[in-house]
Structure 1
Amino acid sequence: MIELAFLLLLGGLGPVLLAEALLARYEVLAYAAGWRTPASTLPADVPYARGADPDRPPDAYLVYLDGIGKRRFRDTRDGGQLVKALIAGAPELRVLGQVLPYSPLADPLADRPLWTWLRRHLGLLLFLHNVMQIFIAADHRYRPLYNRAVGTQIAAQLRLAGYRPDSGIPVVLLSYSGGAQVATGAVDELWSRLRSPLWLITLGGFHNGANDITHAQHLYRLTSAGDWIERVGTWIFPQRWRLLRRSGWNRADRAGKITVHPLDPATHIGPRSYISPDARLPDGRSHLDRTTDTVIALIRARHSATTGRSRPAE
């Protein structure tokens, strides 16, 4: 009976996975063919950035690339708690939380009529769609196109948020989970379009290590021994293995561009995740508080080292 149930499950998921694999390619191929370009306008109630006064240059622009739960312009993974905490804790930053890492054309998945119906009846498909997009972004056949499309989307959103190319203001790409695949892939296009100092912060980053991050000044890897999902990424992608010395990841590592910051005992997801407001550390802070404090401290330290100016204690 168990074997029959397992076969039925596989029989049901097989066609779904095949359909998702085909659908996930559609956007990047439509972009490559010139049929569509990444959208840049946002709904009227979604700001292009929040935080620092738009009339004064911020210390940095921070772009948050969410994990696979991201389905619309608004922050969905944690109700926007991490973005809100960063804005509250670092008012000197201009923060963009609306970028869609899993849609090269910046087309919100949850707002499409068919997917609205599926969300009500088969929510798992939304999850599978974004998972498939990560693997499309990692596939050597589609990766250059995917990187260019999403890099174009991020650059457009930054310009609309007030960023001026050649201004020298740093752009920080903060990515969660699979957002790291997109963040590392967007580096070349962002450098080409904005010529900005680029800093990367990955939080439980799940990526294949193939993208060239030469134009990024540094990458901070926030991780935990309890994060088995990130660890799987280091196993299944050969470009993350030390043996492949010429991969983008290993070249950056040898150049001293990667710094690891442990956030033990956090997990990737669940009640003890990096962004949990309930899980507590011995010092009384929540996991969300510590992650926020760490991200802000890294940005401020980098800014201070670059400009020679440190911010006063708050």
Structure 2
Amino acid sequence: MNGFLLWACVLGAALLAEGLLARYELLAYGAGWRTPSDELPDGVPYARGAAPERPPGAYLVYLDGIGKRRIRDSRDGGLLVEALIAGAPELRVLGQVQPYSPLADPLADRPVWAWLRRHFGLLLFLHNVVQTFVAADHRYRPLYNRAVGSQIATQLRLAGYRPDSGVPVVLLGYSGGAQVATGAVEELHTRLRCPLLLITLGGFHNGANDLTHAEHLHQLTSTNDRIEQIATWIFPQRRRLVRHSGWNRAVRAGKITVHSLDPAAHFGPRSYISPTARLPDGRSHLDRTADTVIEVIRARSARDRENAS
């Protein structure tokens, strides 16, 4: 019992510290005390895939879930990004955006957090969980959306994107990355004036962000995804009764298309991005997820060609 109380106290103190730290970073951005960094480590390109010399089919920004801790890493070791680049060489793919840092500051590269990672790795995930709820909080959401939307716009420009070019930008948000993706819409529309396509994968988001300037949102989900189901339960804006939420306005406008990826789970050995879990057709869950994302993007490009002809 004493051990349980000790761990409860430690967890409570960690949650309190995380809540304060998460808000501090955002307030430091808003007050102008610190400016976001747009530099990448040596050897890390601003985008991979299609060459920048000619307009690509689309720019795809991958916003990973709460496992994102540094510029290079992702929860699957980069397998989804690799599969997308291999399956759609016409895409320019950005995977370096820090969705849980308004200052674009990789968490695991900070000296204190490097020590914590060696001793209390769970706190790194806890930090990003808290940041997701800060991004969803109505008090901080506008500033958070502006901060990360600006970060995405800057990285796209450095990757070769030209405002008003008409080249579509695809935001692929996994889990909590969906909160960031839906929140970045207005800032990207203002800064780049680009066609915006959103894809959520097991999206954990509050449904409050305005999707007026998004062309469409494709919701990749599964009946076995308990994490996304929790989001629809705890955030009232995701429920039909809250008719004026950004999500429900988009639903009524016909902007939401649901794609079932049953029987995938949110995480674990049967997750959406598992390279080992197999479907009856022989594909892995990772293969099917990458195929679905590519099909959605190419279908949009095909409609553009039809409309232009």
Shorter-chain TM-score range: over 0.9
When normalised by structure 2's length, the TM-score is: 0.98
Moved more, 4-13 or 214-223: 4-13
Q: Which residue of 1 aligns with 2:197?
A: 199
**Distance in 2 of aligned mates of 1:117 and 1:45:** 25
Q: Which runs of 5+ in 2 are unaligned?
A: none
Distance 1:212 1:55, change over 3 A: same
Partner residue in 2 for 1:299: 297
- Superposed CA deviations along residues 113-166 of structure 1, whole A, max 9, x for unmatched, are 000000000001101000000000000110000000000000000000000000
Of residues 206, 228, 231, the one that matches 1:230 is: 228
Q: Who is 2:171 aligned against?
A: 173
Secondary structure of 1:53's counterpart equals coil
The one-letter amino acid of 1:305's match is: R
Change (3 A) 1:106 1:238: same
Map of 1:212 onto structure 2: 210
Q: Which residue of 2 aligns with 1:258?
A: 256
Work out whether residues 100 and 108 of structure 1, in 8 Å CA contact, stay in contact via their aligned partners in 2. Answer: yes
Single out whichever of 34-43 and 82-91 deviates more from structure 2: 34-43
CA 1:31 to 1:120, structure 2 compared with 1: closer, same or farther past 3 Å? Answer: same
TM-superposed CA distance for 1:5, in Å, is 3.8
Structure 1 residues 35-184: aligned runs within 5 Å: 35-184=33-182
The 3-state SS of whatever aligns with 2:215 is strand
Q: Which moved more, 1:179-188 or 1:75-84?
A: 75-84
Other structure's SS at 1:214 match: coil
Q: Sequence identity of aligned pairs in percent?
A: 78
Residue aligned with 1:216, SS: coil
Q: CA deviation at 1:7?
A: 2.6
- For 1:132 and 1:175, locate their aligned partners in 2 and report how far apart those are by CA, in whole Å: 17
Partners of 1:144 and 1:192 in 2: CA distance: 14
Does the 8 Å CA contact 1:38/1:152 hold for their aligned counterparts? no
Cα shift at 1:45: 1.2
Give the structure 2 partner of residue 280 of structure 1: 278
Partner SS, residue 308 of structure 1? helix
Shift >6 Å, 4+ stretches = none
Q: 1:175 is paired with a residue of what secondary structure?
A: strand
Report the CA distance between 1:8 and its aligned residue. Answer: 2.6
Q: For 1:199, what is the secondary structure of its paired residue?
A: strand
* Aligned pair partner of 1:244 in 235, 239, 242: 242
Deviations along 1:55-97, whole A, 9 cap, x unmatched? 0100100000000000111132111000000000000000001
TM-score, normalised on structure 1? 0.96
- Matched residues in 2 for 1:53 and 1:14: separation? 49
CA distance in 1, matches of 2:108, 2:275: 26
One-letter amino acid matched to 1:140:
H
CA drift at 1:309:
8.3
SS at match of 1:193: helix
Cα distance between partner residues in 1 of 2:223 and 2:4: 32
Secondary structure in 2 matching 1:95: strand
Helix, strand or coil for the counterpart of 2:184? helix
For the pair 1:32 / 2:26, whether they are aligned, the reply is no
Amino acid at match of 1:269: F
AA aligned to 2:52 is P
For 2:307 and 2:298, how far apart are their aligned partners in 1? 10
For structure 1, the 5+ residue unaligned runs are none
